[in-house]
Each structure stands twice: as C-alpha cells, then as structure tokens.
Amino acid sequence: MARPDPHVLTELDCYALAVKGEPPAELDGVLIRIGPDGRGSAGQPHVGALRIRHGHAEWYRARRVRTDAVCRQTGELPSPGPRRCASDNTDAAVIRHGRQILALGEGVLPYELTADLRTKARCDFDDTLPSGFSSRPIHDSLTGELFAAVADPCRESLRYMAVDVKGHVRKYETVPVTDDPSQYAFALTERHALFLGPTEIGFMPREGGPEDVRWIDAVNAPLGGCDGGNTKPATADQPVNAFELRDGTIAVDVMHDDGHDSPALWRRVVDPSRGTVHDALLDDRAQELPVVDPRYQGTNHRYVVTRLLTGAERNSTALVLHDLAEGTSRLHHADLDRDLGAPVFVPRSPTADEGDGWVLAFAHNTAQEHDEVVIIDTADFTGPPVAMIELPGVGPRESSACWLVEQAW
C-alpha cells in the first residue's frame, strides 16, 4: 500500500497519540490551530485541534472549513448563512465567543464551527453584523465583549465595532482615516480604542464615535518615518497589547515590519497632553506571533512570548520569553529538525503570577514528516519540554493558534 503524501492535509479523528513526558494534570482544554491548506499562503482554511485533559492527550481532529470554494471541490451543498462579502476565506484565527467557536478572516463573515470542528454556518451575530468582521478582534476578559476594527477601502475608513456577551453587535461606527485603511492596526486598553496607522495614531474612549477620535501625527516617530526607501511598512503593525500608564500616556507594544520581512518588537507611547508619539525598540531580532498572559489583556503586562524567525523560509527552532520589566529574554531551543509554530500561553491557575504557566506550540518534525505539540513550563523555559505529543501527518503552517479552556475558572 502506498504511503499517503504527508503534505496533503486530510480530515481525520485520531484517538491514539504517542506522548513523551507527562502533560500537566492542570491542563484541561483544546489547543486549536488554523491556516491555509495549501503550501505557502494559498489555500482554504484548515483547522486542527488537540484535546488535553488531566495529563492525557485524548484526541486530535482536523477539518477543512466548508467555504464555498471547498464545497465546490467536495461536491457538498454550500454552507448555510448570509453572503455579504466578496470572499469567505477564514484561515486567519479561531476564537470562542460565548458558546460559539468561530473561524475568522479579515473583512469576511466568520464561520461557526461545532465542538468537533465541523462547519455549522456563516455567522453574522444574529443579523447584527452588516459587513465583514476582523481576523484580530480583542477579547475583554472583564466584560466578556469583543472589540474590533475592520478596513473599509471603499469609504477610506475603519469600521469600529463591539460584540456583546450575547453575540450581538451593539456598537458599529465608521471612523474616517487619512491613509490606506488596510494599513491600520487596532489596539484596546481599559478605557480607550486605538487606531495605529503608518503616519498617525488615533485614540478615543471605548464608547466614543468618530467625532471623539483624537489623531496624533506619528511621522516624526521612528516607526512613522521612512526606512530603507519605504515610506510605509509592508503590512500593518501587529499589536501585542496596549495599556494606560500612570502619567496619562498610553503604551502599545507592537511587532513592526520595516518592509524587509524582519518584524521586531517595539513600544509606542502616545502622550495625549503633548500630542506626541515616542517609539522605543525593545528587541531587534526578527520574530512574530506574539502572545501575552490573557489575564493581562488591556493592562500593563510584563511578559511576551514570540516565535523567533530564521532564514528566508521564516522557520523557527526557538521561542523567546521577553521580560519587559527587566529588559531581558530567555530562549527555548527546539531540536534542529523541528519548526516551531505559534506559541500559546496558558496560566497555571487563575491566581498564578503573570507568566507562570505553560507555553504550548505546534511543531513540524521535518525529519519524520509529522507534527507534534510541545508543552514548555515557563519556570524552566530554557529546559526541555515537559511533554511532547506526536500528531498524525502534517497540518497547516498556522496563521495562529489558541487555547480553549474546557471549564471556565
């Protein structure tokens, strides 16, 4: 019997997984990844999920999201739900909001997935979302709401919205911008919504509207000026987290790419009283897919975990744990035949200190052509993983990954 091509992403349910080491007994949830099912960035969304419970790896599942393109390929009836966008490719992120598991793309309607990752329907939040949603919404852990900003190129504006805990869009505002709206990133603090453009930064109260936005010129800040012949970055900055400082300024940590495919970690500080933006380089190594302790979203954080990039292929055999308070970092090195994916941080307990927990990441074993999940204890971040779980076959080079806790604390 011919062996299947390990690069062809299949749909599967696997209940027999080889485990090296011992997964922490405290972990009780699902690690999910999503990405395109083709090589590179082309393809349709493919989702994989690993269930970990009380020290055991119970199952791994993989599914293709039933977009219109996938349904045409498989001969299935199209997925139900409204069609309001030119595209329906949702390969950027997976989140859970309330009881819904949603696959997200930029400027498209989400797809709702079942607990076993099957496609249920397109979601427009019970007919309250008149257009596409964001691939990077921000979850407020205190209120349980989702906040997002989506580019509207036709109107040269951003659509700022908030989704309440019942899954309804309760706020929808149009915010005009000066530059290409696709070049703006969105960040959220306890009190403010921020819109980070290539030459300006806008901020307003969370419940404000376009008339409340105050814009500050950022051209003279390092990230707003010319770099290497480029007047704008190749892509919008990726915010890590934003928070208010005691002196009244607002800080936003971002991954900034100067157009040379080498994103670095920066801190932007907006001073409303002076109308200025100050940029400081925190780490100049090429890195991506930053994550903070989710309990500190929107507040002053100390730790950031990133994926370190190497070579033209943007592979990674190391993760970085940044201690921003000390200005130091620690590296977790994987074996040379492992390509690490997006890191996910899981707190050890609801009352654990910030950064005390585990970092989980999918990894591709290039020597044996299969994927794995590594579990790293932050107390020994530079040491070997506490557990490594072997997965069947090869999954997508994920756009993002997340941890869905089984029982909310």
Percentage of the chain beyond pLDDT 70 is: 93
Q: What is the Cα–Cα distance from 15 to 228, expressed in whole angstroms?
A: 51
Mean per-residue pLDDT for 145-169? 95
Condensed to tens digits (0 to 9), the pLDDT of residues 108-149 reads 999 999 999 999 999 999 999 999 999 999 999 889 999 999
Predicted confidence (pLDDT) per residue in 269-283, tens digit = 999 999 999 999 999
- The pLDDT confidence band at residue 7, using thresholds 50, 70 and 90, is very low
| 149 neighbors 184 (Cβ within 8 angstroms) | yes
Task: Provide mean pLDDT across the span 153-182.
Answer: 95
Mean residue pLDDT across the chain: 92
152: in domain: yes
Q: In what order do the strands lie in the sheet with 264-271?
A: 238-244, 250-256, 264-271, 276-283
Residue 296 reports pLDDT greater than 90: yes
**2: in domain:** no
Looking at per-residue pLDDT, the higher value among 291 and 235 belongs to: 291
Please say if the pLDDT value at position 205 is more than 70.
yes
Assigned domain for 372 exists: yes
* Residue pLDDT, tens place only, 212-250: 999 999 999 999 865 544 444 446 799 999 999 999 999
How many structural domains is the chain composed of?
1
Banded model confidence at residue 315, pLDDT cuts 50, 70, 90: confident
Answer whether residue 74 is part of any domain.
yes
Is a pLDDT exceeding 60 seen at residue 300?
yes
Q: What are the phi and psi torsion angles at 202 (to 5°)?
A: -115, 145
Determine, yes or no, domain membership for 258.
yes
Confirm whether 97 is domain-assigned: yes
Stretch 361-381: mean pLDDT: 95
Taking the alpha carbons at both ends of the chain, their separation in whole angstroms is 48
Q: Which stretch of DSSP H or E encloses residue 68?
A: helix 68-74
Domain span at residue 41 reads 12-405
Residue 155, domain CATH? 2.130.10.10
Buried b (16+ CB within 10 A) or exposed e, 225-239: eebeeeebbeebbbb
CA 166 to the chain's CA centroid: 23
Query: How many Cβ atoms from other residues are within 10 Å of residue 120's Cβ?
Result: 16
Say how far apart CA 401 and CA 113 lie, in whole Å: 15
* DSSP conformation class of 126: T
Residues 266/243, Cβ–Cβ less than 8 Å: no
Q: What pLDDT, on the 0 to 100 scale, is given for residue 231?
A: 46
**What pLDDT does residue 39 have?**
55
* pLDDT at 40 > cutoff 80: no
Among 33-47, 162-176, 285-299, 374-388, name the one with the lowest average pLDDT.
33-47
- Give the strand pairing for 200-205 and 192-196: antiparallel
Residue 81, pLDDT > 50, answer yes
- Give the closest residue to 206 by CA, choosing from 262, 246, 269, 164: 164
Q: Which residues pair with 376 in a beta bridge?
A: 359
Among residues 71, 50, 64, 129, the alpha carbon closest in space to that of 97 is found at 129
Identify the pLDDT of residue 258.
Answer: 80
Max alpha carbon distance in the chain (Å)? 71
Helix, strand or coil for residue 245? Answer: coil
Whether residue 2 has pLDDT greater than 70: no
Supply the pTM of this predicted model. 0.93
The letter for the amino acid at 315 is N
Read off the pLDDT band of 3 (50, 70, 90): very low
Residue 108, domain member (yes or no): yes
Cβ–Cβ under 8 Å, residues 268 and 282: no
Q: What is the pLDDT of residue 41?
A: 57
pLDDT at position 155: 83
Tell whether the model's pLDDT for residue 308 goes beyond 80.
yes
Give the mean model confidence (pLDDT) for residues 392-402.
Answer: 90
Mean pLDDT over 393-408 rounds to 86
Q: Which residue has the higher pLDDT, 203 or 84?
A: 203
**Residue 102 domain-assigned?**
yes
